[in-house]
Chain A
Amino acid sequence: MTVNAPDSNEQVSAFVDGELRGPARDRVVDALYGSSELRRAWAHFHLIGDVVRKIGPVPGAGSIAGNVNAALSAEPVVPFEPRPRRPWLVPLPGLAFAAAIAAVAVLGIRSLDDGGVQPPPVAGASRPEVEATSSLPAAPDPAASRIASAAAPPAGSEAARRRWSDVAPNAEARLNVYLVNHNEYAGNGVRGVLPYVHIVGYQPAAGDYR
């Protein structure tokens, strides 16, 4: 149940792209759970994919991750001891939290209700209602939790409720992808809305980190 170190980044890349199924997918999930380095790679793959998608579609999302993979391959991969896999560590194929992470990370966000983002130290910690579906490996990792905390809204705030209504989490992620592409192609229109704007308004729950 381990991911071989030389291939780990590649497998995380494939995982992010939704290319893994069954045992292969499980192995990567286990690996993410046990390795902060891999989680960092995982976060970067997502971030880069999101940023790229904001400026236009890219043929073969896998190639994005592939490019990054070369850079990441220089980073050491820390061996880990596999832990029992939690049942809620369900990877979401493709873009997962898509737009929200990059946009929120890039632009920052504040809630009028509380005067600012008060991120939880670990994704999901401040949102018990979604904790059961949180898929970010629980071990604190600076990169992952920074990104997570940038996007996680304060519990109980209006921002926390600003999410796609009436859809399952995976479908919500899909809608985010659509929204990014819609903004891209619809252009700014007369209002000149920056493409990031609606995405910034979108507030992912910590549980979106899958």
Chain B
Amino acid sequence: MRLAGATLFATLTAGAAASQAADEQREIRSLLDRMVRASRTLDYVGTFVYRNGSTIQSMKIIHRADADGSRERLVALSGAAREVIRDGRRVTCILPDDRTVVVAKRRPGRPYPSTVFGPEVAIGPDVAEFYSLSIAGVERVADREATVIDARPKDRYRYGLRLAVDHETGLLLKSELLDDRMTALEQIVYTHLDLPESIPDEALEPRISDAGFTRYETEAAEGAGDSSTARTQEWTIGWLPAGFRMTNESQDPIRSGHDPVDHRVYGDGLASLSIFIERGLDEGDRFEGPSSVGAVNAFGRIVEEFQLSVVGEVPGITVEKVAASILKR
């Protein structure tokens, strides 16, 4: 009888734990969905810091979600008062110290991301297959309370993430990329955030006059870069980390007068990598083997006259294995 009681107790306890775990996963899912909505729909003004190793960069951001998309202004907070203003159609860079304005228009059909901080697209439920998602607690960021979500990879082929999501708004307040020891490889964190009821047009205009500046405008032509070609199909990718699917395929014109570079992007919803296949590089431009900068790893191979390169914010082992698996049909 005592044994039966113990068994019943264990069963009930396990059931409660499972239920609790399911609740936690539902809460995480809700937070992630809310984060996506918030970054798309809210108006905000904030300052944030990007840190990578000993490099730190501070910027002010003014973000307005308009009916026809978002408009955003970035201002460098140190050094020259350079500004970047962008919406779905164009980006304008004002470089006062060079007395130059550069305006570049976006190709139709591929709007510019509406925000520099916060997810653009919904995060698929299968992310939980490749990461252990958990709520790590509550943290204060930019004088606001945030729920911290940890995403620990279930294999060694991707980095971990720690996200701090604002209680009140759902905005992403802090984002860290973590190595296998859960040490931050890089961070983006708000130091201040305001949520004004509205953002006037003036706040999205450059603060500095560009009178007398040299102005350059460029316009991307329509319909470039999206067509798959026979050449792209000549290559097969033999291995990718579990859950990595192709999210984009394009041909990037990099050098005029040369073949465009075949470019495929693969991702698991949180991490991504690119494969580039380029023909006819000069000897000095080629590279073989591993390389890295910050949390980004790359691996190059030469196959016949082609440079194969894998680049992504994933561990070195991942780009190497992917690169090694590329085969010419």
Contacts and interface: CB of A to CB of B under 8 A. Distances in A.
Nearest to A19: B257
B284 interface: yes
A10 to B, nearest CB: 13
Contact of B57 (A18, A108, A166, A181): A108
Contact of B285 (A56, A62, A93, A150): A93
Contacts of A179: 293, 296, 311
A162 interface: yes
B281 A166 contact: no
Contacts, number: 301
Contacts of B260: 57
B274 A185 contact: yes
A166 to B, nearest CB: 5
Interface stretch (A28-36, A77-85, A124-132, A196-204): A196-204
A195 interface: yes
Interface in B79-111: 79-80, 82, 84, 86, 90-91, 93, 95, 97-98, 100, 102, 104, 106-107, 110
Nearest to A62: B256
Name which of A47, A143, A177, A178 has the most chain B CB atoms within 10 A of its CB: A178
Name which of A48, A158, A170, A171 has the most chain B CB atoms within 10 A of its CB: A171
Q: How large is the interface on B (under 10, 10 to 19, 20 to 34, 35 or more residues)?
A: 35 or more
Contacts of A95: 254
B216 interface: yes
Given A44-B100, A166-B291, A192 B256 contact: no
B322 interface: no
Nearest to A68: B216
A195 B112 CA distance: 10
Contact of B161 (A59, A64, A164, A191): A191
B95 A18 contact: no
A163 B215 CA distance: 31
A99 to B, nearest CB: 11
Contacts of A4: none
A64 B218 contact: yes
Interface of A: 17-19, 44, 47-48, 51-52, 54-64, 67-68, 71, 93-95, 102, 105-113, 116-117, 143, 146-147, 150, 157-159, 162-168, 170-175, 177-179, 181-182, 185-198, 200-203
Interface of B: 32, 35, 39, 50, 52-59, 74, 76-80, 82, 84, 86, 90-91, 93, 95, 97-98, 100, 102, 104, 106-107, 110, 112-113, 115-121, 123, 161, 163, 172, 175, 177, 186, 188, 214-221, 224-225, 247-248, 250-258, 260-261, 263, 265, 267, 269-274, 276, 281-282, 284-287, 289-296, 298, 300, 307, 309, 311-313
